Chain A
Amino acid sequence: MFAALGDPTRLALVTKLCAGGPSSIARLTDGAGVSRQAVSKHLRALSAAELVRCTRLGREQIYELEPRRLEAARQCLERISHEWDLALGRLEAFVEAADS
């Protein structure tokens, strides 16, 4: 999912959604420097990574940020990192035990 942010256009879209709140594709295309189709494609990638969510308002698609998801992913990675610290602590005690 972090790979989804590794693109300047997508990062710009996330920044824009962050600053401007829920937005239509038209509004997100405005000033993006790329076509509406390209913006659509990038939004679908962000949506697949669960970083943004799309709702339909009449004929328009409104995109908004899923900030909790990003935070949850970061926390999850930290948690896994922490589990490794604990496992390595146990390995250290295991191999350094005098009777091993």
Chain B
Amino acid sequence: MSDTDRIEKTVVLRAPRARVWRAISNAAEFGAWFGAVMEGAFVAGTTARGRITHPGYDHLTMEIQIERIDPERYFAFRWHPYAVDTAVDYSSEPTTLVEFTLAEAPGSTVLTIVESGFDRIPLPRRAEAFRMNEGGWTAQVVNIERHVSQS
């Protein structure tokens, strides 16, 4: 891996920028695709909470600290990545920054997601927590992967 501090993803979405913006910045819509039931609205400088709806993770709540909202262009929040062990208090650990950047392209929207700050996160402990938490989730991931790679 060339850069271990960050994960970067770019995807071209066949939808207008306003539509993509709403899916990201509206708390209820964000939850719909992310897999969480969010409470309240996303407001810069506040913390938004939600209940994870993924099978196997549905006992977890998520918290995101909204950093910045530039309408139709940029949305950023901080969180504790991979905070899957309910016995661990992650609040004293550093957070990662998740940034969504939107750009217009002909008939589509280019979305870039960057999550950075992993260098300061004790990832091995997360991995251990994950293994203990895993249950039936792995099989499901494999199923989705198979489905996606075939389509």
* Interface pair B35/A75, CB less than 8 Å apart: no
User: In the complex, A12→B3 CA distance in Å?
Assistant: 19
C-beta contact mask, B110-142 vs A, less than 8 Å → 1, else 0?
Answer: 010101001111111111101000000000010
- Interface locus among B4-12, B37-45, B64-72: B4-12
C-beta contact mask, B54-92 vs A, less than 8 Å → 1, else 0?
Answer: 000000000000000000000000000110000000000
* Interface pair A77/B9, CB less than 8 Å apart: no
User: Is A27 in the interface zone, CB < 8 Å from B?
Assistant: no
Interfacial residues of chain A within 73-100, with CB under 8 A of chain B in the complex: 73-77, 79-82, 84-96, 100
Number of interface residues of B (CB under 8 A): 39
User: Is B105 in the interface zone, CB < 8 Å from A?
Assistant: no
User: In the complex, A86→B7 CA distance in Å?
Assistant: 14
User: In the complex, A92→B19 CA distance in Å?
Assistant: 11
Chain A proximity of B44: nearest CB distance (Å): 21
* Interface pair A3/B82, CB less than 8 Å apart: no
* Interface pair B35/A87, CB less than 8 Å apart: yes
User: Is B32 in the interface zone, CB < 8 Å from A?
Assistant: yes
Chain A residues positioned under 8 Å from B127 (CB to CB): 72-73, 75-76, 79
Chain B residues positioned under 8 Å from A91 (CB to CB): 11, 13, 23-24, 33-34, 111
Closest 6 CB pairs of A and B: A2-B4, A72-B127, A73-B123, A95-B15, A76-B127, A94-B33
Chain A interface residues (CB < 8 Å from chain B): 1-3, 50, 68-70, 72-77, 79-82, 84-96, 100
